[in-house]
Amino acid sequence: MDLKTLTYLVVGATFLLYIGIAIWARASTTREFYVAGTGVHPIANGMATAADWMSAASFISMAGLIAFLGYDASVYLMGWTGGYVLLALLLAPYLRKFGKFTVPEFIGERYYSKLARLVAVICLIVASITYVIGQMKGVGVAFGRFLEVDFETGVGVGMAIVFVYAVLGGMKGITYTQIAQYCVLIFAYTVPAIFIALNLTGNPIPQLGLGSTMNDGSGLLLLDKLDLIVTDLGFRRIYGTKRDFTQYVLIDDVSDDRYSRSAPRDHAFLHGTEGLGCANLGRLGTGIHRHPVHHGSGSWCNGPVEPDGDHPVGSCRCRGWQPPV
Amino acid sequence: MSDQKNRQSYWKANLKLVAFCLGIWFVVSYLFGIILVEQLNTISIGGYKLGFWFAQQGSMYVFVVLIFFYAWRMNKLDRKFNVHED
């Protein structure tokens, strides 16, 4: 069986599971539709909420943000999770005790005002649409890749599935499909994390592995190594922003005396790239080279990068060099 | 009257609990994770710099513990003032 059939089978099976759950958990009363008849066990509810946390935005975007921004992306982590504390302490208990189904209903009743209710509805729609746009982008990307269709079709497929289980099952359907999603997601998150941690540090617990030493014999801490790699690649430091972006990748057009300074040049040289490989630098595209370089020359590299045979191993040549600004 | 008084002291205890929890919430995230991060980064525990650890992991652990703690204390409070659901 080739990979494509396998993908269709696995994705199809999960779709069937979600729709099956929606039909099984079909809502028959308003109470069931909005609050799942208040009959969901706290653990199950917790699993569904956790599935909310591990959405497309976390799965796809947050990992990337942390890789790109290092420490600075911690605000997303703390905001994402800290928000749940606010929700649990300031909103959820009162909403439950008030006995109303939705936030606008609660606001309308609490402040004796139809206008307040309307404002709450508008706020909710604005917030939801913003959120859904982000999620749908993720859904389109993920489905487009798995099913090998265009982005638009991917979004369409995702929307159709969500529509079926949300309309049929209401909150009960959503909660139970989310429990299924939780199991899938936690598995998909944990397995690679454990193996990466084992591979890099020999420690199977990822949370501890991040703070351990590398097992490649260098004796470096994983975080220090990570810091070195991302700064070598021109990204920000994992720990903070103290070191200069460009310190490691130097675009050195001065030391190369085969070219006189006045002659037109179509490339510059990248030094300090040992161990990275030019292909990796090239793959990063323009993102890394656009920063003004050392040597005070202020030249930029904005073209493809290739190995430079005339230079020591690790040096790369940059096509599409821009003169000093 | 005593019912009214009872409700007032229930509400007061509730607010106190919320304030306590949000205080810790602020300290671990804003204070340790953002404001004092440079100072805490001079201390290393295991392979982590402390400030970085709070921002990336520590505050999350505390958040989870906070939610459980709040639920536990609130249930106790509900029982004490006889307003519990089950």
Tell me what pLDDT residue A86 has: 92
Phi and psi angles of residue A263, each rounded to the nearest 5 degrees, phi first: -70, 150
Q: Are B48 and A67 in contact (CB under 8 A)?
A: no
Predicted local confidence at residue A116, as pLDDT = 92
Calculate mean pLDDT across residues A243-259.
36
What's chain A's Rg over C-alpha atoms?
Answer: 26
Task: State the residue for tokens 């509810």.
Answer: A45
Query: Nearest Cα to A190, choosing from A54, A13, A48, A73?
Result: A54
What does DSSP assign to residue A303?
Answer: S
- Tokens of residue A276, six digits: 């990275």
Confidence of residue A44 (pLDDT cuts 50, 70, 90): confident
Q: With bands split at pLDDT 50, 70 and 90, how would you rate the model's confidence at A316?
A: low
Q: Which residue of A has its CA nearest to B29?
A: A78
Q: What is the pTM of this model?
A: 0.69
Confidence class for position A237, pLDDT limits 50, 70, 90? low
- Is the pLDDT assigned to residue A271 strictly greater than 70? no
Candidates B47, B53, B70; nearest CB to A221: B47
pLDDT for the residue numbered B31:
92
Q: Concatenated DSSP letters for A232-281?
A: HTT---SS-S-S-GGGSSEE-SSS-TTS-SSS--SEEEEES-TTT-HHHH
- Residue A75 at interface with chain B, using a CB cutoff of 8 Å: yes
Predicted confidence (pLDDT) at residue A321 exceeds the cutoff of 70? no
What pLDDT, on a 0 to 100 scale, did the predictor assign at position B1?
52
Q: What are phi and psi of A251, to 5 degrees?
A: -100, 105
- Could you tell me which residues come within 8 angstroms of residue B84 by beta carbon, excluding any fewer than 6 positions away? B75, B78
Residue B29: list chain A partners with CB under 8 A.
Answer: 78, 82
Q: How near does any CA of chain B get to the CA of A59, in Å?
A: 16
Residue B1 Cα, gap to closest chain A Cα (Å): 23
Chain A residues in contact with B62 (beta carbon < 8 A): none
pLDDT in tens, A198-223: 988 888 888 888 888 887 777 788 88
DSSP string, chain B: -HHHHHHHHHHHHHHHHHHHHHHHHHIIIIIIIIITHHHHTTSEETTEEHHHHIIIIIHHHHHHHHHHHHHHHHHHHHHHTT----
Q: On the CB side of A47, how many CA atoms lie within 13 Å of its CA?
A: 18
Q: How many whole angstroms separate alpha carbon A220 and alpha carbon A225? A: 6
Q: Could B38 and A84 be called an inter-chain contact, meaning their C-beta atoms sit closer than 8 Å?
A: no
A89 to chain B, any CB pair closer than 8 A? The answer is yes
A50, closest residue in chain B (CA to CA): B64
The 10s digit of each residue's pLDDT in A144-175 is 887 778 888 989 988 888 888 778 777 777 88
For the cut 70, the answer to whether the pLDDT of residue A297 exceeds it is no
HSE of A298 in the Cβ direction (CA atoms, 13 Å)? 3
Higher pLDDT, B74 or A321: B74
Cα distance between residue A299 and residue A325, in whole Å: 7
